[in-house]
């Protein structure tokens, strides 16, 4: 028997310049329940029509003093005719999907190290075997605007199932704005149930049905309003617009995590955060903090094989809190790994866990050390 293997390189991805946008969400509902009030139980999502403005002066809000309209992008109704709006969007540029090669040193887009601080990622990178895998990392302190901030230039890469986080955001904003309800029937399940399956179990079938419900073009058009490189080209049911795949970057994934954390007391973001805190896939970032007490991890994983490269990703928010429930430190972390398919289990994923654990241990030790300094 003759077996012919055909490898189709996936390189047909496009870049988009940032588009100015004027539609924003100017107010959100608020609640005083706190981030850990009902862990490990889920609080059912609630939405209010009388929504107060976002507290932008929260002392832990990196965007304190910034108009909340700059944090959240308001989508148009999912059943609207978007063709006229889409004509103003950029036309596809040249193919630029990046397939990372081994031993490729990453460039750093942003590096902010507080005075007397530690470059956590640079130290943790000693654990990576660059001859067998590539990894792109982003770590951002979420409590201190002048805290540690490190974002590597991943180029435009395949986000795998991380893209589902934006699909969740779009769906929840549609509900928040009154264009949909969590009880909407999507092939025998409610929208709320489909979102839970999509995020907690990374169910591709539920993802495809949610995309079909709202329209891939609508979701993608919304993405172009606030993202330069994050695109939804696949409907998870076999169709890729223009033959292109989904795309994102470390920097834009960090943007999503910051938006999620800074709006954690406001709907619909508090509901989204609860879903990610209760993800049932716990074998990457959550595994990296196994054995530590009082740590919460909101996570979304992603894995995909393309062009003889395997991706194995995780993104999340890691929060360490004391015995009184007060947050000690919190940070957003993105880890995108690339290796050969046979090296995911043996090399890529164990390395992701080791590096993420090393970063957490460093941050924990640094926090304890700063608490013992005079005047702390």
Q: What is the CATH number of the domain that holds 109?
A: 3.30.450
Domain membership of residue 219 (yes or no) is: yes
Residues 291 and 328 in one domain: yes
Handedness of CA 40, 42, 43, 47 (dihedral sign): positive
Q: Which two tokens stand for residue 108?
A: 């750093």
Residues 286 and 367 in one domain: yes
Q: By three-state DSSP, how is residue 135 classified?
A: strand
Residues 294 and 345 in one domain: yes
Residues 123 and 181 in one domain: no
Q: Which two tokens stand for residue 352?
A: 């992701």
80: buried, middle or exposed (CB in 10 Å: 19+, 13-18, 0-12)?
Answer: middle
Please give the residue range of the domain that contains residue 337: 105-154+279-376
pLDDT of residue 370: 85
168 neighbors 259 (Cβ within 8 angstroms) = no
Domain membership of residue 4 (yes or no) is: no
Place of tokens 């169910």: 203
Consecutive 10-residue averages of pLDDT for the chain (376 residues): 41 25 24 26 29 34 39 52 34 48 76 92 92 94 93 92 96 91 95 96 94 93 90 85 86 95 91 94 94 94 83 96 90 95 91 96 92 65
Residues 114 and 199 in one domain: no
250 neighbors 153 (Cβ within 8 angstroms) = yes
Domain membership of residue 93 (yes or no) is: no
Give the predicted TM-score (pTM) of the model: 0.76
User: In terms of DSSP H, where are the helices of the chain?
Assistant: 83-86, 120-124, 164-176, 191-200, 204-214, 216-224, 250-262, 269-277, 285-288, 349-371
Domain membership of residue 37 (yes or no) is: no
CA distance 260 to 254: 10
Number of domains in the chain: 2
Dihedral, CA atoms, 104, 230, 301, 351, nearest 10 degrees?
10
pLDDT of residue 103: 57
């Amino acid at each position: 028997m003759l077996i012919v293997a055909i490898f189709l390189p996936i390189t047909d991805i496009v870049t988009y310049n940032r588009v100015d946008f004027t539609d924003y969400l100017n107010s959100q509902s608020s609640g005083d329940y706190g981030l850990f009030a009902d862990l490990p139980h889920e609080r059912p999502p609630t939405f209010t029509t009388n929504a107060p403005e976002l507290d932008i002066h929260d002392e832990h809000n990196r965007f304190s003093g910034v108009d909340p309209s700059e944090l959240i992008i308001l989508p148009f109704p999912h059943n609207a005719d978007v063709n006229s709006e889409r004509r103003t969007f950029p036309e596809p540029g040249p193919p630029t999907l990046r397939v990372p090669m081994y031993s490729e040193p990453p460039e750093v887009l942003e590096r902010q190290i507080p005075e007397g601080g530690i470059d956590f990622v640079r130290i943790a990178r000693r654990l990576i075997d660059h001859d067998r895998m590539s990894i792109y990392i982003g770590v951002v302190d979420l409590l201190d605007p002048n805290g540690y901030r490190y974002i590597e230039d991943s180029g435009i890469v395949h986000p795998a199932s991380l893209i589902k986080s934006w699909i969740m955001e779009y769906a929840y904003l549609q509900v928040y704005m009154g264009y949909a309800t969590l009880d909407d029937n999507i092939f025998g399940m409610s929208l709320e149930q489909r979102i839970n399956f999509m995020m907690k179990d990374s169910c591709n079938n539920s993802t495809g049905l949610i995309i079909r419900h709202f329209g891939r073009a609508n979701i993608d058009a919304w993405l172009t309003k606030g993202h330069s490189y994050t695109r939804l080209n696949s409907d998870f049911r076999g169709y890729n617009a223009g033959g292109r795949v989904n795309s994102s970057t470390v920097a834009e994934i960090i943007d999503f995590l910051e938006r999620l954390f800074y709006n954690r007391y406001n709907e619909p973001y508090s509901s989204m955060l609860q879903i990610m805190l209760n993800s049932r896939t716990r074998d990457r970032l959550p595994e990296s903090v196994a054995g530590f007490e009082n740590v919460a991890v909101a996570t979304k994983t992603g894995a995909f094989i393309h062009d003889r490269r395997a991706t194995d990703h995780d993104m999340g928010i890691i929060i360490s809190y004391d015995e009184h429930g007060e947050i000690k430190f919190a940070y957003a972390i993105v880890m995108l790994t690339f290796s050969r398919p046979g090296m995911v289990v043996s090399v890529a994923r164990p390395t992701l866990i080791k590096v993420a654990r090393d970063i957490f241990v460093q941050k924990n030790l640094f926090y304890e050390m700063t608490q013992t300094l005079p005047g702390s």
